Amino acid sequence: MRRGVTISTEARTRAGQRLPSRAGRLADAIHRTTFVTATVVFAFGMVAVQLVRLAATGAPAVQSNMSSPIATSLARPDIVDRNGRLLASDVEAPSLYADPLLISDRDEVVEKLRAVLPDLDSAALRDALADKTRRFVWVRRGLSPQMAQRVHDLGLPGLAFRNELRRAYPGGRLAGHVLGGVNIDNRAIAGIERHLDESNLVEPIVHAAPSTRRPVVLSLDLGVQHALEDELAAAMETYRASATAGLVLDVRTGEVLASAALPGVDPAIATDALVDERIDRINGGTFELGSIFKLMTVAEALDAGRVGPGTMVDVTEPLKSGRFVIEDPHPAGRPLTVSEVFLKSSNVGAARLALGGGPTRQRAFLDSLGLLAPMRTEAAALARPMLPARWEEIETITIAYGHGLAVAPLQFAAAAAALVNGGEYIQPTFLKRTGEAPRRRVIRAETSAELRELMARNVAEGGGTGKRADAEGYAVGGKTGTAEIATRGKYDRNAVISSFLGAFPISDPRFLTLVMVFEPARTAASGGEVTASQTAAPVTARLVRRIAPQLGVWPAPIQP
């Protein structure tokens, strides 16, 4: 019996070792709970610390973009004219895309889309939708709201829209060459729009977020621009011309108030600028300008002091230089004064004036007027001047009356402005100037006054070639130019560029105009002629009558 008691005691001892007391079990539970709680608190603490660090460093939010790529575009500031009228602005427009993985019947999708978008490239879209590894395919960007609604009403799965910024031009083709345009990603391709890109005035964006920058203010006056384009269009039709071009320039500030070349371009249609016939002839082309260049020739001779307005020039015989013979279309048959050389537009007289100074003096004078070096404005880099390979006697003669040297019309207009504004050259600009324009003297003020007198007489006097540019009451002065166009190495007497360079009020000019009519036909309206006096001069008169009141120039009272 004692033995049994002993065995029972050992069993109880082993059982005590395997089964802890109630207090021991409670202590173990507390330890485990404390460990788990500490682990959880530590983990949440680490998350909190990371969140605070991210907030403090301003790290960008992580975005998940499963169905479309991040398409970077540009937000562009508004463009306005000098009076704050809108010329260009960004607007939101829906763009259509597809997710090929969600499209079960691509033929149905393409067929129905073609009913709404007839110019859709069906084959290319079918190929793109066949690739199920792609999750994003552009179908058409920049839809109008009406077109987007029609596509939406098709109810096709796998199609969706995203808003993008699109450039809008409220004036349509108005000032199209100056504004330039943008591509499908709102990036500039030409004109002032390119100036915005080059000047870092645009902002990269992901979503359709309009720019918050202040509008870019141009020197253009929308009313003057419209009048210029309207008159150029009428001239193109009246004289059956292949093209027309013109500009209006403030001679005191160098600001371009209007600039146009027709046929024009629509800045909303990027391919327009690729058509040769739609070239910007004011900035992008160079031309031999004919007799309006005689303004430069007479200015050089007067400013050098070699002649005065009354100095006699022998034009009784044609001028010979090597195998070339230069003669006047309508010979005077007698010597002419320097004033008459200008008024009667004598080629022989201009040539003799240029030869008096020689090639070196002629070249230096034209260079001082900025006519021989490349020029750039905010709207464009102008076409480079085309200089003669040699500059000797015959080149001096032909350049004297506007052949043998080709320049961009704006470059010539800037030089001419210096001759009439008192003798100071001012770099032209397409941006509104808020301060004093930089300037440099190129001729004496007395020479400028003499030139203005000649330009005034050329319009006011019956014998002047610019008589038809007279806009009653506005005191216009100017010079005609009819330049034959060289084709296949020969000049064509029937293919000409007729130009008129004008300034008003000519006694103290504020504005300069240049009107160019390319290849006018011999019509009843021009009296069967193609000369500038019959074509470009009348256009100038009509233009001045329209724009002068807009520019604050009122007609002088009619004298009894």
Does the annotation count 498 as an active-site position?
no
Ordered DSSP codes for 39-71: HHHHHHHHHHHHHHHHHHHTPPPP---SSS---
CB atoms within 10 A of CB 235: 26
3-state class (DSSP) for residue 381:
strand
H or E stretch at 257: strand 256-262
- 111: burial class by Cβ within 10 Å (0-12, 13-18, 19+)? exposed
Catalytic residue among 73, 95, 259, 291: 291
pLDDT for position 173 = 96
Torsion of CA 309, 311, 313, 316, to 10 degrees: 100
3-state class (DSSP) for residue 350:
helix
Q: Rounded mean pLDDT of 412-426?
A: 98
The C-alpha atoms of residue 507 and residue 449 are separated, in whole angstroms, by 8
**Contact (Cβ atoms closer than 8 angstroms) between residue 518 and residue 245:** yes
Between 485 and 42, where is the model more confident?
A: 485
The C-alpha atoms of residue 217 and residue 255 are separated, in whole angstroms, by 12
Q: Rounded mean pLDDT of 472-480?
A: 95
| Structure letter (DSSP) for residue 430 | S
Three-state helix/strand/coil letters over 156-221: CCCEEEEEEEEEECCCCCCCHHHHCEECCCCCEEEHHHHHHHHCCCCEEECCCCCCCCCCEEECCC
pLDDT digits (tens, 9 = 90+) for 221-279: 999 999 999 999 999 999 999 999 999 999 999 999 999 999 999 999 988 888 889 99
Paired sense of beta strands 86-98 and 159-168, if any: antiparallel
Provide the whole-model pTM. 0.83
Q: By C-alpha distance, which of 450, 464, 453, 486 is closest to 532?
A: 464
Using 50, 70 and 90 to split pLDDT, how confident is the model at 63? Answer: very low
> What is each CA distance from 453 to 420, 461, 492, in whole angstroms?
10, 11, 33
pLDDT above 50: residue 12:
no
> What is each CA distance from 136 to 125, 140, 161, 298, in whole angstroms?
12, 12, 11, 67
pLDDT digits (tens, 9 = 90+) for 73-118: 899 999 999 999 999 999 999 999 999 999 989 999 999 999 999 9
> What is each CA distance from 455 to 148, 279, 285, 311, 477, in whole angstroms?
58, 30, 26, 17, 4
pLDDT for position 1 = 41
pLDDT digits (tens, 9 = 90+) for 329-379: 889 999 999 999 999 999 999 999 999 999 999 999 999 999 999 999 999
Bridge partners (DSSP) of residue 244 are 262, 517
Q: Rounded mean pLDDT of 208-223?
A: 95
CA angle 296, 297, 303 (to 5 degrees): 85
3-state class (DSSP) for residue 369:
coil
pLDDT for position 54 = 65
Range of lowest pLDDT (156-160, 203-207, 432-436) = 203-207
Paired sense of beta strands 216-217 and 243-250, if any: unpaired
pLDDT above 90 coverage of the chain, percent: 77
pLDDT for position 16 = 45
pLDDT digits (tens, 9 = 90+) for 181-194: 999 999 999 999 99
**Contact (Cβ atoms closer than 8 angstroms) between residue 499 and residue 480:** yes
Residues 6+ apart with CB under 8 A from 255: 82, 219, 249, 428, 429, 430, 432, 433
Bridge partners (DSSP) of residue 217 are 80
The C-alpha atoms of residue 412 and residue 299 are separated, in whole angstroms, by 14
pLDDT above 60: residue 60:
no
Buried-exposed string 391-423: b where 16+ CB fall within 10 A, e elsewhere: bebbbbbbbbbbbbbbbbbbbbbbbbbbbbbbb
CB atoms within 10 A of CB 495: 16
3-state class (DSSP) for residue 145:
helix
| Structure letter (DSSP) for residue 376 | B
pLDDT for position 492 = 82
